[in-house]
Every structure is written in C-alpha cells, then in structure tokens.
Amino acid sequence: METLIRWIVGLFVALAVGGVATGWFLSGLRSYLNIARPSGRDVPNWLIGLSERLFFAVIIAFNISGAAVAMMVWIVLKIIPNWELQIKHGTANKPLTWSSILASLCSMLFALLGGLIIRGAIWYW
C-alpha cells in the first residue's frame, strides 16, 4: 500500500505540481523580462512538459543509471532549434532561449523530486 501511495504522490508532484510551478515560473520570467510569445505554430509547452516529467520521473523512480545525463541531453535537444535561430537572426532570440533553458531546468527539478518520492528516497511515512 505504501508503494501505491508513493507512486500517486510522486506522480502528482512531478506532473501536477511541476506543471503549475513551471508554467508560473516561465510566464513570470517572460513577463518580467518583457519577452513576447514566440510566433508561429508549435507544440504546447504543457504537453512537452507533461511528457518529459512523466518519462524522467519514471526513469528516476526505477533508479536507471544515466538519468541525469539523459535529462541534460534532452534539454540540449530542445534548445538546439533556438540556438539555430539565434545564429541566423542575431541575438534577438537570446532571452527567449535562456528563459526556455531555465523553465526546462525547473521542469526537470520536479521530475527529479517526483521520481525520488516514488523511489522512496524522499519519504517520511
């Protein structure tokens, strides 16, 4: 029963709390820095964040080696298109790129916390 509760709480922290906190952080950061919403069609941020937090929380929960490296590689893969735009169009996209990196790190933090709760490394009952 304790394992089921850890899974429920861990996934809640990773997915729900992580989604709200990361969205709040990203919108607050972009409004503070006066960064306009990027134009064009894209995949919704919440969908990417939900899938990455679920995937990495499960990877961390099962204590699979290389999880930290995989998390950083994933962030790099997400940021590569922004750096390419920066090279083509100058540094106008630099604040957008850095806000995306910081939001990704925030999202990964909640995936880590959720995974550690599921594993039982952070558990007080």
pLDDT in tens, the chain (125 residues): 889 999 999 999 999 999 999 999 999 999 998 887 777 667 788 899 999 999 999 999 999 999 999 999 999 998 887 777 667 766 667 788 888 899 999 999 999 999 999 999 997 66
Q: What phi, psi does 62 have (nearest 5°)?
A: -90, 5
- What is the reported pLDDT for 78? 87
Each domain of the chain, given as residue ranges in start order, spans 2-119
**CA 81, CA 34: separation in Å to the nearest integer?**
21
